[in-house]
Amino acid sequence: MKFGSLFAYVLAAADVARTASLPIRIVSFNIRYAATSLETNEKPWSDRRTGLINQLKTVTDNATSDGAVAVLGLQEVLDAQLKDIKSGLGSAWTHYGFGRDDGAKSGEYNPIIYRTDVLKLLYSEQKWLSPTPDKVSFGWGAGSRRVSVIAVFEHIATGKRFIHANTHLDNVSSQARSEGIKVVVSRIQAVQEQYGPLGVTLTGDFNSAPGEDAYTTLSDTGYLTELWNSGATRLGTNQLTYTGFSTTGKSRIDFVWLGPTADKLYSAQQFEFLNNYIDNVFISDHRAVVADLTIL
């Protein structure tokens, strides 16, 4: 084969790879920070971590065996917990995101966790959900500092690119939740302006159920579609994501959103809210949300 023909063949093959669909598994999970003052039925992190890490490992290993890319959006993660989780998942896994109280290691992280041998990180940012998102700050009467973490990934094998965002909205102020999700959307859209019309997935604990403040604020934009409304099949019997340290569900406040809705860059196959009571231990007061999607 002549060089020119070979070069054309390589370009054509690369073009096919970029246009091929890519299965992806997105996980949203508030793991419960390592509290020192425990609630009724709550166990310390040292008792919770094995079951929690094993659950994440099973979810990610199964995705890999099915040929899917796995991305984790976690909430309420302290620095030591993050180290435990990455160690449990294996050396191929890394994260982006920092402690919300100082932009380094203090306070809770909202890390995006991914495999460096599968995904190349093209861009990343952490912004605070406040009128001054570029600096460590509170916004709109929030009880805690809150952040948005965004990553632009390229799938190494195919060249497929996508945006993933992860957040945890405030538990005290309704205004902080509604204004905070506006910041998240504006930052995603700013990244899209830079990197083009890429598919977007958003994970997070909204502290807002369907029909309530932040959920409605995002839904009314029409920008993203919540997984529950995507037409995907719901597996299992669990319908709620926040349970407290109880087997009785309380509310559905943890979500995976996908879009942009108008661009139809994703299809959603199935999702499940995993059990959080394992071997007589609540591994968290939330259930993990696991979504199986395809980037078209």
- Averaged pLDDT, groups of 10, the chain, 296 residues long: 44 47 98 98 98 98 96 98 98 98 98 98 98 98 98 98 98 98 98 97 98 98 98 97 93 98 97 97 98 97
Quote the pLDDT of residue 20.
81
pTM over 0.85: yes
Quote the pLDDT of residue 15.
44
Quote the pLDDT of residue 8.
36
CATH number, span 20-295:
3.60.10.10
Q: What are the tens digits of pLDDT across the range 176-191?
A: 999 999 999 999 999 9
Quote the pLDDT of residue 294.
98
Percent pLDDT > 90 in the chain is: 92
**Which residue is listed with tokens 């435990």?**
84
What would the two tokens of residue 209 be?
A: 């159920």
Domain boundaries, given as residue ranges, for the chain: 20-295
